Structure 1
Amino acid sequence: MSSKYPRSVRCCLPLCALTLEAALILLFYFFTHYDASLEDQKGLVASYQVGRDLTVMAAIGFGFLTSSFRRHSWSSVAFNLFMLALGVQWAILLDGFLSQFPPGKVVITLFSIRLATTSALSVLISAGAVLGYVNLVQLVVMVLVEVTALGTMRMVISNIFNTDYHMNMMHIYLFTACFGVTVAWCLPKPLPEGTEDKDQIATIPSLSAMLGALFLWMFWPSFNSALLRSPIERKNAVFNTYYAVAVSVVTAISGSSLAHPQGKISMSYMHNAVLAGGVAVGTSCHLITSPWLAMVLGLVAGLISIGGAKYLPGCCNRVLGIHDSSVMHYTFSLLGLLGEITCIVLLVLHTVWNGNGMIGFQVLVSIGEFSLATTIALTSGLLTGLLLNLKIWKAPHAAKYFDDQVFWKFPHLAVGF
């Protein structure tokens, strides 16, 4: 019988992380420089504000959203910040190298920082499916592979289908969900007997998770509009996302009450369902020209999120053999699919109204983008899951899943542990 004592990463983590950081510093030294152009001051301030909103979403929003576990709240917040910091650095370099041929010096602008932050957000979403099962060394591997896969996906789709930054990045919802669920499928599935309560939600951490959801709710319009160039499209994206998330909050509370026999509201349902409208409207937010359609999407998305959280966990555990600890795929995979379908329908209607006559071609292009993004996500997720199963990463023992004490220093007689 194997030992239940946690495997120490004292040597492995510092060696891996600091060596990687030193390599990144050298790459920045030799291959990057700041943009020397004089930007309009008003545009510069507006661009910085959007980047700041994305950073708040990533560091506080997603950091606290996954902190609701009874004995894994410290790790959830700190590990998210670690992945964000590492992912942004690698994404800036990768996006710069992939966007120019032949390779040369990478010019760092505020837009490139926004793009890198958005890429790093993909890892935070996917990691919600594996937090509690993995250590920081494994998360380093996951960050590098997923950011690389996402950047490659965007480059391939852009070259084949000639799509812009926004449409490329809005595949992020479905991409991250497929990637995270595939990685979780490759990891050891069931919790050991006697440890099932570790992934349960506690009252105070659940309130912290709701705080993270509130930050995400406030700044989701910035996320959906961050990579749009046209002022009209940015305005549409902000307005439509605002209405969609507003309706999804009302739907989340009402649907949660409806799903309970005594009509009580579940905080665990609320964490993700309040964001459902922002996810569903993301792909098509710049195409919608009337608020009612965004509100309908928010309503449908909220109902799907509540229904998925209530009825799908048992199905996923039994049929697919996965344990999505943060139920991220109910928020992002199903709603990302809804968003993709909505975008295809709107593009078809736009083609019909303009009398273009290219409906079939437009549908094929949209389905091709969607299929390619999903294929790359599943393939890279499978590769990452197999890599994370290697023993060299010193993964936590199954008896120590969802346990902060594996990674953190606590007082000798810590109450509650």
Structure 2
Amino acid sequence: MAPQYAPSLRSRLPLVAFLLETIFILLFVFFVKIEQRELIDRESDSKLFISSYAEFQDTHVMIFMGFGFLATFLLRYGFSGSGFNMLLAAMAIQWAVLMNGFLLPQRHHRKEIHISMKSVIEAELCAASALVAMGAVHGKTNPVQLLLMALVEVTGFVVNQWILRTLFLADPVYSIMLLHVFGALFGVMVSWVLHREGIKPVHEKEKTDRKTGLLAMFGTLFLWMFWPSFNSALVRDLKLKLTVIYGTYLSLAVSVVMAMSVSMLTSAKGKMNMVHVQSSALSGGVAIGVAMTAVHMPWIAMTIGFCAALLSALGFRYMKNHMLLAFECHDTCSVLNVHAVPGILGWFALLFLRLASDESTVTFPEVEYLETPAGQEVL
């Protein structure tokens, strides 16, 4: 947790923010151009744009309102948590647009980065990975440290995507859905580096009350409602998109029931712990986000949500304190159990579904990019 009287950041935060924004603006001047939509007058292209913008709005709500309200659960860090979330997300999105444009294919055209609705959605997904990492160090870092951590995390995540796509020929959907595992492990490692003596298993600054818990529950509801759009934003095929939406919703529904049941079962007084529920209720969406295009049966999606919530709730209840005692790693929001464990479970589910398929090879649809005659992306 932060010290009782944190030092003033007046001489550091404005300087760092001004310097970074100046660099970003100069890079945008020389390298970033708005995508020219020559076919937008066609009815089909107009519908495609409206659909993409709706998905952008849903993802936008999750990043700024969902994660923002979710960061208010600490009694003495509520306003700071939501404010730092907004600052971190706004900066990470700008940096992600540049990094995606420079490194990833189909983004760099003739030494120019063509920004489109699709590239902005991908940038917000990269920013979500940074916000997941922020959860591990929630309440223990100042905004300057968070800004620098976000830049490093987004850079590492985009480089990881580039390695998966170029060397291992991974599908873009699967490479970017690694955001939960990558962000959680990155945040846990940062928390381990920043660990200091005096952090007890139950720190006095980790207290919550009804008001902060209610605000955090609002964040959980925003994330829960819009998670189907979050998982399906990169899928262009309509039939596959509907399958992903239905599967994500069913997985989330089962994870809510399991999170509440396990929380009550493991409580000494037989009561639900809303902190457990707020986190584990989202684990089903995390797990199925990895294996979403391979899940074509409702019961499979529900089983994934069942297992994800069970592992997440049990890990949140028993594993968090053991991580501090055994590895000197204080994971404030328990992102290891909320994002990393369900994400790894999703990868195992994907592998199992591929091996269990009757076909010798399973074709997983890639992200479809519409091309103009000049080879430019129109999304």
What's the TM-score once normalised by structure 1's chain length?
A: 0.81
Match of 1:14 in 2: 14
Task: Give the root-mean-square deviation of aligned CA atoms.
Answer: 1.8
Q: Is the CA contact (8 Å cut-off) linking 2:195 and 2:330 kept in structure 1?
A: no
Match of 1:27 in 2: 27
Greater shift in the superposed pair: 207-216 or 301-310: 301-310
Q: 1:208 to 1:231 in 2, by over 3 A?
A: same
One of 97, 102, 118 as aligned partner of 1:97: 102
Report 1:199-238 matches (<5 A). 199-238=206-245
Gaps of 5+ in 1: 363-417
Query: Equivalents in 2 of 1:32, 1:214: separation in Å?
Result: 35
Query: Equivalents in 2 of 1:291, 1:216: separation in Å?
Result: 21
Match of 1:154 in 2: 161
Q: After superposition, give the CA deviation of every residue in 1:179-199 in whole Å (9 maximum; x if it has no partner).
A: 110010000334468x92111
One of 290, 300, 308 as aligned partner of 2:297: 290
Gaps of 5+ in 2: 365-379
Q: After superposition, give the CA deviation of every residue in 1:270-321 in whole Å (9 maximum; x if it has no partner).
A: 1111101101111111111110011111111111111011111221011111
Work out whether 1:51 is the aligned partner of 2:56: yes
Greater shift in the superposed pair: 200-209 or 223-232: 223-232
Q: Is the CA contact (8 Å cut-off) linking 1:190 and 1:323 kept in structure 2?
A: no
Corresponding letter in the other structure for 2:19? T
One of 86, 89, 92 as aligned partner of 1:81: 86
Identity %: 36
Higher relative contact order (CA 8 A, sep 6+): 1
One of 51, 60, 64 as aligned partner of 2:69: 64
Q: 1:75 to 1:334 in 2, by over 3 A?
A: same
Work out whether 1:107 is the aligned partner of 2:114: yes
Query: Equivalents in 2 of 1:165, 1:115: separation in Å?
Result: 10
Q: Is the CA contact (8 Å cut-off) linking 1:272 and 1:331 kept in structure 2?
A: yes
3-state secondary structure, aligned to 2:187: helix
Q: What is the total number of aligned residue pairs between the two structures?
A: 353
Q: Is the CA contact (8 Å cut-off) linking 1:68 and 1:201 kept in structure 2?
A: yes
What's the TM-score once normalised by structure 2's chain length?
A: 0.89
3-state secondary structure, aligned to 2:293: coil
Work out whether 1:250 is the aligned partner of 2:253: no
Q: Which 4+ runs in 1 deviate beyond 3 A? A: 100-103, 189-193
**1:245 offset after TM fit, Å?**
0.2
Work out whether 1:354 is the aligned partner of 2:359: yes
Match of 1:136 in 2: 143
Query: Equivalents in 2 of 1:4, 1:179: separation in Å?
Result: 27
Corresponding letter in the other structure for 1:47? S
**1:355 offset after TM fit, Å?**
3.3
Query: Equivalents in 1 of 2:280, 2:246: separation in Å?
Result: 19
3-state secondary structure, aligned to 1:107: strand
One of 274, 281, 305 as aligned partner of 2:312: 305
Query: Equivalents in 1 of 2:263, 2:6: separation in Å?
Result: 38
Q: 1:103 to 1:178 in 2, by over 3 A?
A: farther
Q: 1:157 to 1:103 in 2, by over 3 A?
A: farther
